[in-house]
Structure 1
Amino acid sequence: MGSQTAIFTRTYDETLDMIVEARNYMTHVEPRIFPKRRSNPDLRFSCEALRVTSRLTQVMAWLMLQRAVVYGEISPEEACRECNRLSGREVCLDTDSMTDDSLPAGLRSLLDRSYHLYQRVSRLEEMVLGRVGLARAVN
């Protein structure tokens, strides 16, 4: 259990760092690089910024549930209920924009790294579901 806890802790820390980085980028860096977007936001930029946010919030919520399991606050079965699983797969696993050169490099970097983080946590979730004896329902 110790190595699994370490994996979750490192992933939690990575996610939190990326959330802070995304917030700082959207708040401080992007407006300086593209000041005209401040008054007239680019729809594509806004949608992709929300995609990053969706990935990171889904991952963080799932990791917090796993932390609650480790601390005995909820059971593994409760954490694996359908309503507590990663969601938003259609939005979070869409990669169409990751190579869009019209988007700023900083946003593309956040898109790429948040996508790979979401994928990795999705695989962790599958491992947890397997350990609890549940299978992901095919949509």
Structure 2
Amino acid sequence: MIAATFFNGTYDETMALLIEARNYIAYHESGDHRSLPPHVRLQISYESMRVTSRLTQVMAWLLAQKAVHAGEITREVAASEEFALSGGEICSDPSGPDNEDLPGGLRSLLERSHRLYMRVHRLDEQFRERVAQLAVG
């Protein structure tokens, strides 16, 4: 099982990024980008959705892990496809932070959300392998 302190730190990090992303989208995105060309505005919208997708996928996975720690669901249930970290190619794609057309705040969110998503992706794989090993032996 994932150590509680690590889990809590990752949960807190995810929540902070979710709040930051929400604030960015609500307060910066609409006003700051009106003068930009349409293709750049479209890129900004797409990348904002990528950040949101990453963070919601991570939060859903963490909540399932929290349910395991609380005894609300079993490890086997949490390791099922229903609770798997999803998002695949969209969320694991590292592009965006190097796009100079995007605002710095969004590029920062892209980079940090990608690092977090990939870290949780590795945790998901480790968790599933561990549950599979326990089931076998």
Q: Give the aligned partner of residue 111 of structure 2.
A: 112
Please state how far the C-alpha of 1:84 moved relative to its aligned partner.
1.0
TM-score where L is the length of structure 1: 0.87
Q: Which amino acid aligns with 1:79?
A: A
SS in 1 for 2:22: helix
Structure 2, unaligned runs of 5 or more: none
**1:59-115 Cα distance to aligned partner (Å, 9 max, x none):** 000000000000000000000001210111110011222210000000000000000
Superposition map of 1:14-29 within 5 A: 14-29=13-28
Q: How many residues are treated as equivalent by the alignment?
A: 132
* C-alpha contact 2:33 2:41 (8 A) present in aligned 1: no
Mapping of residues 96-135 of structure 1, within 5 Å: 96-133=95-132
Deviation at residue 29 of structure 1 after TM alignment: 2.5
Aligned pairs for 1:24-103 within 5 A: 24-36=23-35, 42-103=41-102
CA distance in 1, matches of 2:124, 2:4: 14
CA distance in 2, matches of 1:72, 1:96: 38
Deviation for aligned residue 1:35: 4.1
Distance 1:27 1:92 in 2: 21
Render the CA deviation track for 1:5-32: whole Å, top value 9, x for unaligned: 1111110010000000000011112334
Which digits, 9 at most, give the CA deviation of each residue in 1:98-135, with x for residues without a partner? 2100000000000000000000001111221122116x
Distance in 2 of aligned mates of 1:96 and 1:25? 19
